Structures are given as structure tokens and as C-alpha cells.
Structure 1
Amino acid sequence: MFDGIKKRVVCMWFPRLASDRVLRARPCDGPFILTLKTSNAERIYCLNTEAERRGLHRGMSFADARAFCPDLVSHPARPEQDARFLSVLRRWATRYCPWVGREGADGLVLDVSGSTHLWDGEAAMLDDMRAHAERAGLNIRLGCANTRGAAWALAHYSNDPVDGALEQLPAAALRLDEKVISGLQRLGLRTIGDISTTARAPLARRFGSDLLLRLDQMLGVQPEPITPEAEPPHFGVRMTMSDPIGLLDDVMGVTARLLDPLCKKLKAHEMGARKLSLTLRRVDQGSQQVELRLAAAMRDPLRILPLFERGLGEVDAGFGIDQMRLEATLVEPLMMEQIGATTPRNTPDQLNDLITRIGTRIGLENVQRFLPADSHIPERGFTIAPAAYSTPEGPWVSLRPRPLLLFRPEAIAGVGSTPPERFRWRRMSLTTARVTGPERITPEWWLQDESWHTGLRDYWKVETRQGRRLWLFYTPQNPGWFVQGEFA
């Protein structure tokens, strides 16, 4: 009688996932660590083999690590990038079986039941996994068993990756909290064999049901499913033409037909495109690509289509284009908006379309806007950011009026702590008519700024008889007068 396929599970553990990810791009022969700020202190988040050989370990203070290793190389950790890298490894692992899930922040679990024969057995499959990981510069440990818990234990605590002796493994192989492990050790229960031969009722009363659940999951008494991650939606459409096209109007027409289904798919997932890539394949097998970067996420084909016109006008169709492919390479969440009779005109959309049109000519990064900053220092009262990747913030708040035009301080002649009655500025002779002030501004002591090395400043608003309305300041510590701005 056919009893079914025997369940087999493989656990992939990448013990140095974070450091391996960085060292793949920036190799380092010496000790290397990644640091992460925890509990108001920089600590070791991950390290390479050389750093561990020098006596460093995870959780160690960064200051202590530098004392141990003066030649230590360090970089800040990026856990979010590590998570994305693990997602890439998960897609790679699907070459061995379609059922692949995550195992914590640095591991994968695979249900290889029925697929090991494709690799001439489990041993050959595990060897292939090690070979691919080694070529990619990754440290990997493997475990293969009948249950997920047993595979995890073998990968983390055994030198025999295939059905090793579980009874000799430490209690930590049951994936328990450190407090539970310490409590078991105080009772003399140091291995899984010790725990499995102990009466279950006292263990449950003392340590709770999680201990027995983990033990049963390892032994296969309790099932532990493997939940694979769903593949992210792919926002791409393609059209093949029976007859080649080359006129701009024809290419724009096909682009419009591609935008409709793409935007419908974006709407179904409540997403909007920020970057679109249109690939045009010619009959001579050559291809050209037109990339459109949008100032804001959108999914309206009527708004997107005119933005492609400039890029498509520069395409060389050759002997004709027989295939076009449109893909949203960068998407963002874009929720639905309530529209009613009293809804105002969509001015932000018009502004974003204008930014996109200008950005196609000079680059989106070069279209910039001013944003308010929390600082009483005039030079730091604002920041400059790309308009496509920032949102207007405000309103601008200032206790005193600020000049519309601000420039570097320009020295003028003056004596005393009050504005001079007559002075020359930019080859102009000016006469003071009215003054307002002073407004004393002190440096931000927590920042080192060479432009404020003279100390505090007394600012005055000076209206001249010649019609210029200037912003002057006086430096008491090092007496001198300067013009820094001009009012409208």
C-alpha cells in the first residue's frame, strides 16, 4: 500500500547574514563588525569570523570592541536592508522546492518533501546549497529532518546536518526563552534527552505549555506548518504587434493601450507608480528604453500618457517596432480619495504634473523647494529638498519678520552698537532713515559653525532714504557691522 511521501524539512541558517551582505560589496580581510544602537549604547550587531577570533561577540559594547581591536573596521547596521536581502535569498531557495518560508530574521525553512530526488538525494541537495552559498560569499549552516523544529536544532547546534542525534543537543535547541533555559539548567536538565525523559506535568506547571509544545513539535507529535511568503504583485504589461509601427502617434496609441490595464492593476492593489519603464523592441532585435520618473505616485492613464511624449519623440524606430513592454518599476501605496460636488480642483496633481514635465528635462532632483527648519539661526531656518521627494511643510513661523532675500554677511563700515547713519554697501552710498531693533540671536552652542565664531549677533531692520530695506547685524564681541539680507 502507498503510504504517501515522507515529510522532510530543511532549515537554512545564515549566522552572519548582515555582515556577509555588507562584505559582499566591500570585502575586508581584517576584523569587521556592524553596530546598532540599543539601550543608548552602540553595540555589536553582527561580526565576521576574524572579529570573533579576536574575542569579540554580539552585544558587546562598541567602545570595548575598539579597545580589543584597534584595527577594527565598523559600519552601521541596516536591519531593513538585511530583511530585503533575506527576501532575495528566499526567492533563490525556491529552486529547491516551491514551499519556502522565513525562519526568524536570519534563516529560511524549506519543505523539500518529494523534491530531493531531483538532486540525486538529500546529501547532494545540501552540498549544492553549500556550494551556491559559498560562491555568493555567505556563511550557511543546514539541517534536514522530519520536522521543522528538528531541522532548526540540527542547523544551529549539530555538526550532523541530516537526522543527527537530537537527545544530545542542548535545551536551547528547543527555541525557548533564555529564562526558561536558565531554569532548566538549574534543575540539571541540560539536554533534550533530559527533558524528554522527565515527567511532563511538573515541567508544564513550572515552565508553562510552551516548553512541551516545542518538544512535541520537534518530535513530530504536534504539527508546525511552513507558511511561504506570497510573491509580490508584478506590475507589467506587454503587447506584440502583428505589423511593425514607427510613427509617434502609433507608439503613443500603443502606450495608451498598455497604460489602461497597468493602471487597473495598480488600482486593484491600491498602489501608484513612481517610476515607469517602457521598453520598445525593434524588428532587428534591438531595443530602446524610455524611463519616466513621476513627481508623485499616480495611476491615472490620462495624466501619465502625455508625460511619455517627450521621451518617445526621441526614440529611433529603425525598421519598425514590433513589441512594447510597460512596467512600473517603483510603486508606492496610493489610497482612494473621496470625491464630491464640493471637492476643490486638484491643484496638487497639476503641480506634480508640472514638476514631472520639468524633471524630464533637467532631472527630478534638480527641481527643489524650500522647507522650514526648526532653528532660530537665519542660515538654518530652512532646508532645500527635491520637490518630487518631499511634501510642503508649514506654515512658516517666525516671531520676527525675516528678509525675502538672504545672502552671506557682507561687511560695511560702522562705529558703535547702533546702525550707522551713512554707509556704503555694494558701491552704493546709503543714508539711514528708520531702524527697528535690535533682535539678539545667540549661536547654537551644540553645533560647530565657523560663520558664528564671533559669538552672538544683534540684528537691525534698516530702511534707507534710497528705498533699500536691509537686514544688518552687529557683533559685540568682535565689533563690526554686516549686511545679511534685504526685505522686499
Structure 2
Amino acid sequence: MFDGIRKRVVCMWFPRLPSDRVLRARPVSGPFAITLKSNNTERIYCLNAAAERAGLTRGMSFADARAFCPDLISQPARPDLDTRFLAMLRRWATRYCPWVGRDGADGLVLDVTGSTHLWGGEEAMLADIQARAMRAGLTLRLGCAATRGAAWAYAHFGTGSDALTDLPVAALRLDEAMVTALQRLGLRSIGDLSEAARAPLARRFGPDLLLRLDQAMGHVPEPVTPEREPPSFVTRMSLPEPIGLAEDVMGITERLLGPLCDKLDRFEMGARKLSLTLRRVDQGSREVELRLAAPMRDPQRILPLFERGVGGVDAGFGIDQIRLEATQVEPLAAQQIGSARHSPDRLDDLITRIGTRIGLDNVQRYLPADSHIPARAFLVAPAAYTGPDSGWSTLRPRPLRLFPPEPIAGHGPTPPARFRWRRMTLTTGRAIGPERLAPEWWLEDDAWRTGLRDYWKVDTREGRRLWLFYTPQNPGWCVEGEFA
């Protein structure tokens, strides 16, 4: 009689995931560590085997580690890249079974039930996983059991021949405080815990302790939930006959843009970066990359932006396949459909067209900055990655044009009645001020080393409307701006 397939779960633990990620690209023969700032102190976040042999441990302050191991090489932690690397490993692990999920920040869990025979058995499959991880330069510990909790325990605390009941209570995925409390009661192993009375343990430690124990023992199910694969925004077309004219390539691109934008619309996403790959009959390929100033999914707006790049492609003996992919997407909510285009769309199209020629980063806009000093009250940012601000908010008007201070002759704290500026003799008609501005002492600025400034708005009889300032500490007058 058929009793069913025996459930098997594999836990993959990468104890040195951050350091292995870095050392795969740039190998280091000596001690190496990843550092992370915590509570204003740089501490060891991850380290390789050589650093552990040198006596370094996780959580040690970086200053102590450098004093203890002067030849230590380090890099700052990048948790975002570690997460991306683990996602790549999760996709790789699907070669062994379709049910693969993440297990914390440095592990994976696989439900290999019914899949081990494809690799010649459980031991052969585990050996293949370990061998491939070793060739990839990854430190990997494996655990395989009938439950997810037991597999995790074997991967983190097992030695290969231990029984589950012989492992320490920390193997039940308990927090450090609970483990310490259990050890003080003499409950050091999972076997000790399973033989103890359950009611007193539940009253003292709550239901989580017994839940973890039952999950490891198989009394309470704990399924493996695979992550949902992110949508792939790509379309392609293979051609029966090679093409070489730019008009033909643009026609195929138009046909590919339709379904691609429809898929973007279904997921309420917009393309920010598009890649058009043209495969030639000689197996070479040419790529046209389009970076957009704003998320888009309108084929009629996107298609003309490819003309410049497609026109410069060398088709060789012909192109037999075209592939279009949205390599970078951003959320783009559904919009009201109308016959008229909005001005923000036209501005985004203009920025994109200019950006394809000189680069999107070179199309810039001015944005307000939080500073009361006029020369620091703005910053320059790429227009494609920033939105227009509502404007500068100041208590008093500021000149339209600012320039480095230009000294003029004058005495006393009030504006001079007559002065020469840029080879012109000007007469003060009306003066409004003073507006005293103090330097930002927390920033180094040679231009403000003279200290306080008293600003005046001066309307001259000759028609010039200037912005003057007086420095009380070092008496003198300068012109810094001109009003429209």
C-alpha cells in the first residue's frame, strides 16, 4: 500500500554572506571584515575565515580589531547588495526544487519533497549543492530533515551525526534572552526541553517556546512559502528574413512596444530605462539604451525617442532578432485618458530628447536649499530624478542675479550717496535695510570669514537696483546682486 512521499526540507545557511559577496569579486588572502556603524561605533559585521583565525569576532569594535590585527582589510557593509545577492542565490536554488523561500537575511529554505530522486538521492543532491557553493566561493552549511525547524537546527548547530534532541535549545530559533533563561533552569538541550512539563514552560515563557519545539518535532506544520517571481517586462521577435533599414527596425520596435506597455499598465508600472537589443546574423548584437526622464508606458511617446539610437546602429549583414526590455521600472498609477497632453509630459519628453544627446545627468534644475545665506539657498540636481519645487520662501525679496561680492568705496554703516561700480558712477535714490545675516558657523566658507553682513536694497537714480552689504567687523561695502 502506498503511504505517500516522505517530506524533506533543506536549509541553506550562508554564515559569511556579506564578506563572501565582496570577496567573490575581489579576493583577499589575509584577514578581511565588513563593518557596520551601530550606536555611533564602527563594528565588525561579517568576517572571513582568516579574520576569525586571527581572533576577531562579530560585534567587536573596528578600532579594537585594527589594533589587534593591523593588516586587516575592511569594507563598509551594503545590506541592500546583500539582499540582492541572496535573491540571486534563491533563483539559483530553484534548480533543485520549485519551492524555495528566504530564511532570514542569510539563508534559504527548500522543500525538496519528491525532488531528491532527480539528483540520485538526498545525499547526492546535498553534495552537489555543497560542491557548487564551494566553487562559487561561498561558505555554506546545510541541514536536511523532515521539518523546517529541524533542518534549520542541523544547519546552524548540527555536526552531521547529532540527533535533534542533542542539539542546544538555541537551535529552536529562540531569542538570546529566552535561551539564557532556559539554560539557567538547566534546560540546555532540545531533549531536556521536550521532557519538561509543558504547562509551567507556557506560563513562564509564553506560547512561542512550545510552538518552536512542536515545529521542530513535526507536531505543528510549518510550510515553505516560495517568493513570487517579479514580473519580467520583456518582448522579443525573431524575423524570418534579416532586415537592415532603420525604418524596418523602428516598425518592429513599435510592434514590441505595444504588448510591453500593456503589461506595464496591468502592473501599474512605468519604464524608466529601456534596452533594445538587435541581434545580427553574424551572432553579434547591438544595444540601444533609452533612459527616460520620467516613468512612461505610452508607446506613442516612447517610440520617437528611439530614432536617434536606432539610426546610429550598424546592422552588418542584417538583423534577425529584436528584443525590447524595460530594465528599470517604477510605480506609475493609472491616469485619466484625455485628448490633450499635459505640459509635464511634454517637459519630460523634452528632457529625455536632450538627455539622449548629452546625458540625463547633464540636464539640471535649480532647487531650494535650507540656508539663509543667499549663495547657499539653492542646489543643482538632475531634472530627470527630481521634481520642480514650489519655490523659495523668504521673508524679504532676493535679487534675480547673484555674483561674487564686488567691493565699492563707502564709509559708515549706511549706503554711500554716490559710488562707482563696474566703471559706472551711480547715485543712491532709495535704500531699504539693513537686513543682518550671520554666517553659518558650522560650515567652512572663506567668503564669510569677515563675519556679519548688513544687506541693503539700493535703487539708484540711473535705474540700477542693486543688493549691497556692509561688514561691521571689517568696515567695507560690496555689491553682491542685482534685482530685475
Do structure 1's residue 220 and structure 2's residue 221 form an aligned pair? no
Aligned-partner Cα distance in 1 for 2:37–2:21: 16
Q: Residues 55 and 454 of structure 1: is their aligned pair in 2 closer, same or farther, counting only changes over 3 Å? A: farther
SS of residue matched to 1:33: strand
Corresponding residue number in structure 2 for 1:395 = 391
SS of residue matched to 2:165: coil
Structure 2: runs of 5 or more not aligned = none
Q: Residues 43 and 288 of structure 1: is their aligned pair in 2 closer, same or farther, counting only changes over 3 Å? A: same
Aligned-partner Cα distance in 1 for 2:248–2:365: 37
Q: CA deviation at 1:42?
A: 4.9
Aligned-partner Cα distance in 2 for 1:52–1:429: 76
Corresponding residue number in structure 1 for 2:459 = 463
Corresponding residue number in structure 1 for 2:430 = 434
SS of residue matched to 1:470: strand
Corresponding residue number in structure 1 for 2:303 = 305
Q: How do 1:23-422 residues align onto structure 2 when only pairs under 5 Å count? A: 23-28=23-28, 29-38=30-39, 42-53=42-53, 56-61=56-61, 74-160=74-160, 164-338=162-336, 345-422=341-418
Tell me if the contact between 1:32 and 1:50 (Cα under 8 Å) persists in the aligned partners: no
Aligned-partner Cα distance in 2 for 1:429–1:134: 81
Q: CA deviation at 1:227?
A: 0.7
Aligned-partner Cα distance in 2 for 1:471–1:113: 79
Aligned-partner Cα distance in 1 for 2:354–2:447: 35
SS of residue matched to 1:485: strand
Query: Can you list the C-alpha shifts for 1:216-268, whole angstroms capped at 9, x where unaligned?
Result: 21122222111111111111111122233333332222111111100001111
Query: Can you list the C-alpha shifts for 1:422-458, whole angstroms capped at 9, x where unaligned?
Result: 4443444444333222211111222233332222222
Q: Residues 435 and 54 of structure 1: is their aligned pair in 2 closer, same or farther, counting only changes over 3 Å? A: farther
Q: Residues 70 and 397 of structure 1: is their aligned pair in 2 closer, same or farther, counting only changes over 3 Å? A: farther
Aligned-partner Cα distance in 1 for 2:466–2:73: 52
SS of residue matched to 2:322: strand
Query: Can you list the C-alpha shifts for 1:326-366, whole angstroms capped at 9, x where unaligned?
Result: 1111111111124579xx85111111011111111111111
Do structure 1's residue 482 and structure 2's residue 458 form an aligned pair? no
Q: Residues 31 and 275 of structure 1: is their aligned pair in 2 closer, same or farther, counting only changes over 3 Å? A: closer
Q: Residues 60 and 411 of structure 1: is their aligned pair in 2 closer, same or farther, counting only changes over 3 Å? A: farther
Q: TM-score, normalization: structure 1?
A: 0.91
Taking only aligned residues, the RMSD between alpha carbons, in angstroms, comes to 2.5
Could you tell me which amino acid in structure 2 is paired with residue 357 of structure 1?
Answer: R
Q: Residues 56 and 467 of structure 1: is their aligned pair in 2 closer, same or farther, counting only changes over 3 Å? A: farther
Tell me if the contact between 2:33 and 2:48 (Cα under 8 Å) persists in the aligned partners: yes
Q: CA deviation at 1:170?
A: 1.0
Aligned-partner Cα distance in 2 for 1:27–1:413: 65
Aligned-partner Cα distance in 2 for 1:364–1:267: 25
Aligned-partner Cα distance in 1 for 2:416–2:134: 75
SS of residue matched to 1:167: helix
Number of residues of Structure 1 aligned to a counterpart in Structure 2:
483
Q: Residues 436 and 74 of structure 1: is their aligned pair in 2 closer, same or farther, counting only changes over 3 Å? A: farther
Aligned-partner Cα distance in 2 for 1:142–1:479: 76
Aligned-partner Cα distance in 1 for 2:341–2:96: 54
Q: TM-score, normalization: structure 2?
A: 0.92
Q: Residues 30 and 479 of structure 1: is their aligned pair in 2 closer, same or farther, counting only changes over 3 Å? A: farther
Q: Residues 432 and 55 of structure 1: is their aligned pair in 2 closer, same or farther, counting only changes over 3 Å? A: farther
Could you tell me which amino acid in structure 2 is paired with residue 32 of structure 1?
Answer: A
Question: Kindly, what percent of the aligned residue pairs are identical?
Answer: 73
Aligned-partner Cα distance in 2 for 1:310–1:191: 69
Query: Can you list the C-alpha shifts for 1:296-350, whole angstroms capped at 9, x where unaligned?
Result: 0010111111111222222233333222111111111111124579xx8511111
Tell me if the contact between 2:437 and 2:453 (Cα under 8 Å) persists in the aligned partners: yes
Q: Residues 486 and 135 of structure 1: is their aligned pair in 2 closer, same or farther, counting only changes over 3 Å? A: farther
Q: CA deviation at 1:82?
A: 1.8
Q: Residues 401 and 54 of structure 1: is their aligned pair in 2 closer, same or farther, counting only changes over 3 Å? A: farther
Q: CA deviation at 1:55?
A: 5.1
Query: Can you list the C-alpha shifts for 1:116-154, whole angstroms capped at 9, x where unaligned?
Result: 344444444334333333343332222122221111111
